[in-house]
């Protein structure tokens, strides 16, 4: 029996019922729906809108339903229109007329807006904990590899010496912002729309603040139309989730490159790699590839939400039912990605010798050779040109700046002396970059300590 049976002569067509129904995906908000109803009923009772007996019957009935859902004693009826209808119907079948009084001063429009806010709010802390776990792993590894020289890249061309630790801490910074962005989303999500009614609030003397407080929410929405018709908090969350995926996807791309024989900077643990059905030599970084691939889903979910909202007149429209699958998918996807990604990073083997070799072969100390000449009084542009000539000479002779004889240096510029070799030693090049934010090992260690402090 539909809620609107009084107005209609016929039941909804079966296939159309499936199309109209949201219970297959909003069933996951069952506990939030019950919590919202309990808070609403308690307020109705406190305001004298329903009797104490009805109030108690509702609380007991809803608590029993919550317990039965949790234990599996109560199965959700998948032909119901949505979770709100199902729970209210179940309550009424258990407690009779009192159940029919629960919806006094409420609409499914403010009910669903509340449920989704509660659900998303409830998921955010666990996601933040997952991000923090990954940041913690990165801090540990950054300390371990603060001295491990690797080539830093621009345009995927070897550029300047950094350490593997410094590289990892770049991701720690991104993820820290991701975590904090979620706190910001949390603030705007954790606001109660209940009391907005269908769109025009209600004539009952509701105490909206009391409901919000009972649900651990930080306040109430200020306009009844806005309360039922925006899902900007879900868009914000999808955007924050998309940025997490951007960061994980870039990191994955690097892992994939680093696992290739061309780089061989890391080797993934067997537990986080896969083989080939035909090529016996293969060890593939499937997890990283999947994370990179799944970023598209999450961006798609963000686009879905934006598109759902952009053309609908105030206030509620059924289009908004489409918000849930999108935001749930985005949340589930990021959760799954982090679950696989963090132990993959934690268990990978770092091949520091290969990184060091790659760093030595690419003239990444050329800037430091130029700076050496600047130290001897040459203007930077002239120093740059002289060093460029040295690099060209090395390439011609199959040498590096470390192996080029001093006479060759001096033939290009007589300011060069034997101390140039110490100056351009890769370890020194990284160690001298002590400016705040730079790759000097003590900086990297200090950053790891600082970031870890922010995780508490």
Residues lying near ligand ARG in the complex (CB under 6 A) = 22, 26, 82, 108-109, 112, 316, 318, 320-321
Of the residues 24, 103, 155, 224, only one is catalytic, namely 155
Are the CB atoms for 231 and 308 separated by under 8 Å? yes
Which run of H or of E encompasses 110? helix 108-144
Is 84 part of the annotated catalytic residue set? no
Closest CB 111 distance from ligand ARG, rounded Å: 7
Please identify, using beta-carbon distances, which residue of 164 and 316 lies nearer to ligand ARG. 316
User: 100-126 burial by CB neighbour count: b if 16+ within 10 A, else e?
Assistant: ebbbebbbbbbbbbbbbbbbbbbbbee
Take residue 404 and report the two structure tokens written for it.
């080029």
Please identify, using beta-carbon distances, which residue of 238 and 358 lies nearer to ligand ARG. 238
Which run of H or of E encompasses 387? helix 380-397
Pick from 119, 337, 334: nearest CA to 231: 119
Of the residues 24, 93, 260, 276, only one is catalytic, namely 276
Closest CB 361 distance from ligand ARG, rounded Å: 59
Neighbours of 280 (CB within 10 A): 7
Please identify, using beta-carbon distances, which residue of 109 and 190 lies nearer to ligand ARG. 109
Closest CB 261 distance from ligand ARG, rounded Å: 51
Please identify, using beta-carbon distances, which residue of 86 and 265 lies nearer to ligand ARG. 86
Question: Percent helix, strand, coil in the chain (nearest 5)?
Answer: 65, 5, 30
Please identify, using beta-carbon distances, which residue of 108 and 247 lies nearer to ligand ARG. 108
Burial of 53 (0-12, 13-18, 19+ CB in 10 A): exposed
Please identify, using beta-carbon distances, which residue of 22 and 273 lies nearer to ligand ARG. 22
Are the CB atoms for 272 and 344 separated by under 8 Å? yes
Which residue carries 């269908």 as its tokens? Answer: 198
DSSP state of 348: P
Closest CB 208 distance from ligand ARG, rounded Å: 19
The CA distance from 318 to 314, in Å, is: 11
Distances (CA, A) of 46 to 34, 96, 146: 18, 21, 61
Please identify, using beta-carbon distances, which residue of 323 and 371 lies nearer to ligand ARG. 323
Closest CB 320 distance from ligand ARG, rounded Å: 5
Are the CB atoms for 402 and 343 separated by under 8 Å? no
Is 273 part of the annotated catalytic residue set? no
DSSP state of 28: G
Closest CB 24 distance from ligand ARG, rounded Å: 11
DSSP state of 220: B
DSSP state of 274: B
Question: What do you get for the CA distance between the two ends of the chain, in Å?
Answer: 52
Take residue 312 and report the two structure tokens written for it.
């609908």
φ and ψ of 151, to 5 deg: -75, 130
**What's the chain's length in residues?**
456
Burial of 282 (0-12, 13-18, 19+ CB in 10 A): exposed
Please identify, using beta-carbon distances, which residue of 82 and 301 lies nearer to ligand ARG. 82
Rounded (10°) angle between helices 52-71 and 30-46 = 170
Closest CB 115 distance from ligand ARG, rounded Å: 9
Closest CB 317 distance from ligand ARG, rounded Å: 9
Catalytic amino acids?
A: 155, 276
């Amino acid at each position: 029996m539909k809620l609107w049976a009084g107005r209609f002569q016929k039941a909804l067509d079966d296939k159309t019922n499936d199309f109209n129904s949201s219970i297959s995906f909003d069933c996951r908000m069952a506990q939030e729906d019950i919590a919202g109803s309990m808070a609403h009923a308690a307020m109705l009772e406190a305001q004298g809108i329903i009797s104490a007996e009805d109030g108690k019957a509702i609380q007991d009935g809803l608590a029993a339903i919550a317990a039965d859902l949790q234990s599996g004693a109560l199965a959700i009826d998948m032909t119901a229109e949505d979770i709100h209808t199902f729970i209210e119907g179940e309550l009424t079948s258990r407690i009779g007329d009192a159940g029919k009084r629960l919806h006094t001063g409420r609409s499914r429009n403010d009910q669903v807006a509340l449920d989704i806010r509660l659900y998303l709010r409830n998921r955010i802390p666990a996601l933040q904990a997952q991000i923090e776990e990954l940041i913690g792993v990165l801090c540990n590894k950054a300390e371990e590899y603060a001295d491990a020289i690797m080539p830093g890249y621009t345009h995927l061309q070897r550029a300047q010496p950094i350490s593997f630790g410094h590289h990892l801490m770049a991701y720690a910074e991104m993820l820290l912002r991701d975590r904090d962005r979620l706190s910001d989303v949390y603030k705007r999500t954790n606001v109660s729309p209940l009391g907005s009614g269908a769109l025009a609030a209600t004539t009952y003397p509701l105490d909206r603040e009391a409901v919000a407080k009972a649900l651990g929410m930080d306040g109430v929405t200020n306009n009844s139309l806005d309360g039922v018709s925006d899902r900007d908090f879900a868009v914000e969350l999808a955007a924050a989730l998309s940025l997490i995926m951007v960061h994980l996807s870039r990191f994955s791309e690097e892992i994939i490159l680093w696992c290739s024989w061309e780089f061989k900077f890391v080797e993934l643990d067997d537990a986080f790699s896969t083989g080939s059905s035909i090529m016996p030599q293969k060890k593939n970084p499937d997890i990283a590839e999947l994370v990179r691939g799944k970023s598209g889903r999450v961006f798609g979910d963000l686009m879905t939400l934006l598109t759902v909202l952009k053309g609908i007149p105030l206030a509620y429209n059924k289009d908004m039912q489409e918000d849930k699958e999108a935001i749930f998918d985005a949340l589930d996807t990021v959760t799954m990605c982090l679950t696989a990604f963090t132990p993959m990073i934690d268990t990978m083997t770092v091949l520091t010798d290969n990184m060091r070799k790659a760093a030595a072969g690419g003239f990444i100390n050329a800037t430091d050779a130029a700076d050496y000449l600047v130290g001897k009084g040459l203007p930077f542009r002239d120093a740059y040109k002289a060093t460029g000539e040295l690099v060209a000479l090395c390439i011609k002779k199959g040498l590096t700046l470390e192996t080029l004889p001093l006479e060759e240096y001096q033939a290009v510029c007589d300011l060069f002396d034997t101390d140039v070799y110490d100056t351009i030693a890769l370890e020194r090049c990284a160690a001298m970059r002590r400016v705040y934010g730079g790759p000097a090992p003590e900086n990297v260690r200090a950053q790891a300590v600082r970031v870890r402090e922010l995780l508490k």
